[in-house]
Structure 1
Amino acid sequence: MSEYCIYLDGLSDDMSKEHIFPTSLGGLDSFCIQADRAFNNKVGSKVDGAIANDFIMLFKRDRAEAKGYSGTHPEPVARRATLEDGTPIQATFSKNGLRLYDLKQKRVLDKREWSRTIQVRDLRLDLDADVRFVAKVALSAGYYAYGELFKNCVEHSQARMIVNAERLTDVCPNVRLYTRFQDPESLPDPSDYHLFRTAIELSGCSCVLMLPGKDCFGVIVGVLGEFMGMINIPANTVGFPNEGAYSLGHCIFLQEGQVKRISFRHLCDKLSDVMENIIDKKDEGGNRTGNEES
C-alpha cells in the first residue's frame, strides 16, 4: 500500500521509519516519521551522517555519550597531526583528556613525551551540511507536528531543493537561512536569534522550534544543546492552530528519553522565569557582599 512521503512529496510503496534526529545526534525512536526507504537511506548518509561526523559536533556527542546505533563512543580525532619535531601522531580530544598516538612507534605517548604545540592538518568542515540538516529537519518535523497543514500550506519544495542539491551554489531557494557560523548581527532582528540560542543551550538537548508567522513557517534547530540554524519558508499559515501546545508556535525537546512538546508561548514564559531567577540570585549576592562590607 502506497503512503505519502514528505521527502518525495509523493507516494512510496516502500516506507521505513525515519528519525527526525538520528540517535547519534540525540534523537529518539519515538520522534520519527515514515519516509521512502531509499530516500531515507540517502538522507542518513548525506545529511545526518555529515553532521554526526562533524569535528565540532563530535565534542558534543562525546560529552553527551550520543553513540547512535553502532554503539561506538564518539570522539573527536585528528588523524593527521604532528608534534613540534615533526613526529606524526593521531590526536584524540576526549572528554577524559587528550591522547596522543605515535603513528611510527604505534603506541600512546606518555605526557612527558608531549610537545607544547601540536599541529593539526587537513581539518575540514562541511558548511553546507548545516544548511541541509536544518532543511531536512524542517521537512520532517514540520510534517510530524502539523501534518496536512504543513503539506498543503507551506512551500516545502524550497526546503526539499536544499536537501537534494548536489551543490548549494547550484540552487537559489526562496527561503531565509541562518546557520551556526554566521554573524547574528546580520539578522534583521538579532534579539530573536539570542532568544532561540538561549532556549537551546539551556535545554542541553536536541530540539526543534516551529513558529508559523504571517507569511512564513520558521524552524529553529538545536543539536545536543547547540544552535544549528534556522530557516524561514514561505507559507500561508491562516488556519494553523494557535492555542494550547501550539500557542505562538510549537516546540519539541528530546529530554531524558522523552519527547516533550510545549507551545512557544510557554517556552518564553519559562525562559522569563529562568532569567528572573538568575537576576534575583545576582542581586542577592550583591546585597550580601554590600552588607558584609558595611
Structure 2
Amino acid sequence: MEIKNSSSNSNTDFILLGLSSNPELQTPLFAIFLIMYLITVVGNVLIILVIHSDCRLHTPMYFFLSNLSFMDICFTTVIVPKMLVSLLSETKTISYVGCLVQMYFFMALGNTDSYLLASMAIDRLVAICNPFQYEVVMSPKHCLLMLIGSCTISHLHALLRVVLMSRLSFCASRVIKHFFCDTQPVLKLSCSDTSSSQIVVMTETLAVIATPFLCILFSYLRIIITVLRIPSAAGKWKAFSTCGSHLTVVALFYGSIIYVYFRPLSMYSVVKDRVATVMYTVVTPMLNPFIYSLRNKDMKRGLGKLKNRIKS
C-alpha cells in the first residue's frame, strides 16, 4: 500500500537493515561498537576535563577542541545507541518521526563538527601568519560568535533537509539499507519524484559542507606559503607540528564525507557507503582524543595534571 502524504507517513515505521543481516554477526558487532562508543565518550570527556582544568589550555584552539569533543559525544550518541539496540533486537524498527529526528540531529551535529574544524584552521592561520594580531582576531568574543554561527548554520541546514524529506511519499518498501536514517538510503525508498529534492539537497549540501572545507584549504595554503618562507628547518617543523593533529582529523572526516555525499543517488552503494559512514560517525570521533592527546605536549601535560589531581 502506498503512503501518499506526510500525515499517513507519520503512522508508519521504517526497518533499519543495519550493518549486517547475518544473525551470527549481530553479537560480535554489538560488542565491537559498544566498546568503540564507550571509548569515544570516555576519551572526549577526558579531553573536555583536561582543557577546563588547566588554565594554560584556555586558548582559542582548545576552546574549539573542547566544543568539538562535546559535539562528537552528541554526534555518536544520536546514532550508536539506536544501532546497538537494533543489533540485539529482532524487529529493528524506527518510527517515521524518530527517523526524521535522528536525521535532523545527525546533520546538525555533523555539520557543526565541520565548522568547528574550519574555526580551528582559522585559528592556526592567524597564529602562524599574523601572530601579532592573534589576541585581537581570536578574542573570546570572536570565538564565541564563531561557535554560535557554526551551530546556527548547521541547525538551519538540518531543518531545511528534514522539511524536504517530510514532504516525500513512501512506497510499500520500508527497509532502510543502512544502520541509521541517512538522506540517501531514505530517498531510495520514496515513491515521489526526488529529482528536484536531490538538486536542492546537492546544491545546499555543497554550499554548507564545501564552505568550511574550502576555508580549511585556503587556511592551510596560506600557512604552507608562510612556513616555506621561514629560513630555519627547525622553525618550519615547529610551525607545521602545531597543525599535524588537526590535518589528520580533517582528512579522516572529510575523506569519508566526500565519498558518501558528493555523488548522484544512482551511484549509491550499500556496502561501501556503510563502511565509509562508519568512518566519520564512529571511528573518527573515537580517534580524535588520541590524535589530539598523543601528538600534543600541552594535552599530555594536562592529562598528567588531571591524573595527579584525581590521585590526590
Structure-1-length-normalised TM-score: 0.30
Higher helix proportion (structure 1 or 2): 2
Structure-2-length-normalised TM-score: 0.29
Larger Rg computed on CA atoms:
1
